[in-house]
Amino acid sequence: MVTRVVVLGAGFGGLELATEVSARCGDDAQVTLIDRAEGFVFGFSKLDVMFGRRRPEQVLHRYADMVNPGVRFVGATITGIDPTTRHVETTAGGFDADILVVALGADLHPEATPGLVEGGTEFYTVAGAFRAREVLREFAGGKVVVAVTSTPFKCPPAPSETALLVHEMLEARGLRGRSEIALVMPLGKPIPPSPKASDAVLAAFAERGIDWLPERLVRELDPARKIAVLADGSELSYDLFLGVPVHRVPQVVADSGLTVDGWVPVDPLTLETTFPRVYAVGDVTSVGTPKAGVFAEGQAAVAAARIIADIKGQIPTAVYDGHGICYLEFGHDQVAKVGVTFLAGQPPVGDLEGPSTALAADKTAFGADRIRRWFGREWS
């Protein structure tokens, strides 16, 4: 009997899970992967486009180009999820699942921060990052504020990377001497789980003259005055505002009854929801790890192993270890690798390798390996 596995969302988590289940189960599983987007873009590729190192078409991996006969991709918007019956409604019709996986990530809402759309530039959506390329290209120098507007938010190191790459860009264009850069973050350290990584970032800020404003959030912008208003009522003037927008669970997930306090609760070891044979992985969950692609991929690998065991009539044994790595851009072709482990009931543990130019090549290989695995082609 063929098991119908329906995966909602084709990001890190959905791509990894669909690929692994189809590869290991063959004809015993019918894997359907549904996403409304045109294609997949790595988070780090957004920075490559923003700062002129890659063109948008070089980093967009179109789902239509996937070469994986074991996975049926459906390009559609999901309009309804019933976790009890495991039925999904989409703009391409309805789908019934024996096993359902929710990997829809977090939706971003620039409009939720007053003044951000009119007076700033968000750089966390794919479209926003691509637009930021033109904004940065035309920027003639002045006060730059990189800021977070709510918690939780994806990829906590990314705002720090952005500040460092803004410095590199302005320096290369001879504009750094008449510019200022400030980073506003809700965290006490740039990367709290890894003291070594935080220390390295803060040292880089000090060396480059980047102002660090921890434990603060920007609540609104006044475009007319070019002022960012912080949660404590203080103000920052800016000529260029690069903002991390509000993150929320997709509305279709909120409407499904899967969420508690805004996100989908799962067993932190198995990624199972409270609904039988319904899993959730990645940013859509409240599992306790950072909202970042590598953690979604790790969770998906565990969920996939348990689904494979289910399909084969075996007892699932795989459990999530809370470990993930991320690459951290320092500019000037210097990249560090941060490893972090989050275990329930224990403080997170993190380490740091680099920064170095060798790790820049390692980061490139990381991306190429996943495109080869998920899309069945080389990424040059």
121-130 confidence digits (pLDDT tens): 999 999 999 9
Q: pLDDT at position 1, please?
A: 85
Residue 130's H or E segment, with its range, is helix 126-138
Distance between CA atoms of residues 161 and 328, nearest Å: 7
Q: What is the mean pLDDT of residues 300-328?
A: 95
- The predicted pLDDT at position 95 comes to 98
Give the mean pLDDT of 316-343.
92
pTM of the model: 0.94
pLDDT, average across residues 253-261: 96
Kindly report the number of other CB atoms within 10 A of residue 300's CB atom.
30
| Mean pLDDT lowest among 28-42, 52-66, 341-355 | 341-355
Residue range 20-46: average pLDDT?
96
Q: To 10 degrees, what angle do helices 12-25 and 293-311 make?
A: 30
What are 199's strand-pairing partners? none
Look at the domain 109-247 and name its fold: FAD/NAD(P)-binding domain (3.50.50)
Q: What is the largest CA-CA distance in the chain?
A: 68
pLDDT-above-70 percentage for the chain: 100
List where CATH 3.50.50.60 sits in the chain.
3-106+249-321, 109-247
Taking the CA of residue 377 as centre, how many other CA atoms within 13 Å lie in the half-sphere pointing to its CB? Answer: 10
Q: What is the pLDDT of residue 48?
A: 96
| Whether pLDDT at 68 is above 90 | no
pLDDT for the residue numbered 65:
87
Instruction: Name the residue with tokens 């507007």.
Output: 149
Compute the CA torsion angle 321, 72, 64, 131 (nearest 10 deg): -40
pLDDT in tens, 192-232: 888 999 999 999 999 999 999 999 999 999 999 999 999 99
Q: What is the pLDDT of residues 137-151, one digit of tens each?
A: 999 999 999 999 999
Lowest mean pLDDT among 2-16, 115-129, 159-173, 331-345: 331-345
Q: What is the pLDDT of residue 59?
A: 96
Tell me which DSSP letter residue 287 carries: S
Is a pLDDT exceeding 90 seen at residue 355?
yes
**The pLDDT value given to residue 259:** 97
Stretch 59-77: mean pLDDT, rounded? Answer: 93
Q: What is the pLDDT of residue 348?
A: 82
Q: What confidence tier does 336 reach under pLDDT thresholds 50, 70, 90? A: very high
What one-character DSSP code corresponds to residue 208? H
**348 and 356 Cβ atoms separated by less than 8 Å:** no
Average pLDDT, the chain: 95
**Confidence label for 288 from pLDDT (cuts 50, 70 and 90):** confident
Q: How far apart are CA 49 and CA 54, in angstroms?
A: 5
Is residue 346 predicted with pLDDT exceeding 80?
no
Give me the architecture of the 3-106+249-321 domain, per CATH.
3-Layer(bba) Sandwich (3.50)
Query: Are 311 and 4 spatial neighbours (Cβ–Cβ below 8 Å)?
Result: no
